[in-house]
Structure 1
Amino acid sequence: MNKALQLGGAALALLAAGLVHAQSLSKGDQQILIDLAEANIAEVATATMALQKSHTREVTIFAQQMREEHTQGLQDVTKVATAKGVKLPTEPNAAHKKAADTLQKLSGAAFDKAYLANAGVKDHNEAHAKVSNARKTAQDADVKALASKLEPVIAEHLKTAKELNSSKR
């Protein structure tokens, strides 16, 4: 019985330490991690859809790159969030789900055009703005380093998406 109480107390202490650690991270930094996770989750989901639905080589190559690099981005975000005790979402947010539902109904050239315009340009524009802002506003060194690591990757995705999108008009 005494050993069970000790183990329970130790578990509670570890849990409390994790909560204190999460609380020491500013609300703004916690939101940065959540936003980055949501963006990566959405990109992986739409890229996977594009790999199934696109019949264009350029879009398929772009989608494969998006799936691989945003999977890595999500792993990087998850690593920092776990270390900081921040709970991340596990699925796309409502806006991204709605956009994915719209994409799911399309096929052929209409799908490719919508995928590039929305998941490619629009979403990467938003993600780039958020990660650029995060580089400037993050208070935690690890969150700031993560934003600095992801920013050039997202900038390159945006550039490629714009180029592909303009060629599909």
Structure 2
Amino acid sequence: MPLLLPVLLAACSPDSSKKDPVAEAQFQNEKRIGDENVTEKQERDAEFVVNAASDGMLEVELGKLAQQKATNPAVKTFGQHMVEQHSEANNALKALAGRKSLVLPASLGQEQQETYSKLAALTGTEFDKQYMASMVKDHKRDADEFEDMSEDAYDGDIRGFAAKYAPVLKEHLDMAEKLNDQIEELP
């Protein structure tokens, strides 16, 4: 825990708002790993944890947005499902990161914020279509990454986390693909 205090204090400083939270978390972890002379595999584990946290936060925020903006009831329900399941995974990841002294981003990174802003600007069925297309793309990438890390992570706890949530992400991908196929038909 001692490592987290300086990071939390730095995160509260006035000019920290100019930094990308995801890049800052990656930097803090790389710095600690470099200081401790840790292996490349451990660097990959830390990068995976930061990316999983960042993607998980985005899924929750986009799910909330879908609950507000979607016109199709199935898309609203899907958004609610994403909020519930990704919040659970995010909480488990925060606990894991705390045990491993890894820094997680405090908010959406620049790339995730751009995705959120792009979708927030849409309305009607255009929102539904773009949201579901984004869910398919994001869950394909995440399911693959979690599957890989369930076998390749250096740390057993991180490997276990990835193994636990890889099937959940695959289920989300299947749901997103089916719903996306239905939504694409809308005018």
* TM-score in same-fold range (> 0.5): yes
Partner of 1:134: 149
Identity value in percent: 27
Partner of 2:8: none
User: Hey, what's the Cα distance between the residues in 1 that align with 2:137 and 2:87?
Assistant: 19
Partner of 2:180: 165
The DSSP-based 3-state class of the residue aligned with 1:88 is coil
> How much has 1:90 moved relative to structure 2?
1.7
User: Hey, what's the Cα distance between the residues in 1 that align with 2:98 and 2:104?
Assistant: 9
Q: Which residue of 66, 75, 84 corresponds with 2:82? A: 66
Q: Deviations over 1:103-157 (max 9, x none)?
A: 0110110000000001x10111111121111112201110000000010000000
Displacement over 2 Å in runs of 4+: 22-25
What is the Cα-based RMSD across aligned positions, in Å? 2.0
- TM norm structure 2: 0.77
> How much has 1:91 moved relative to structure 2?
1.5
- Aligned pair 1:149/2:136, yes or no? no
> Which one has more relative contact order, counting CA pairs under 8 Å at least 6 apart?
1
Structure 1 residues 78-89: aligned runs within 5 Å:
78-89=94-105
Partner of 1:15: 2
AA in 2 matched with 1:158: L
- TM norm structure 1: 0.85
Number of equivalent positions: 153
Q: Which residue of 37, 41, 66 corresponds with 2:53? A: 37
Partner of 2:118: 102
Q: Which structure has more helix as a fraction of its residues? A: 1
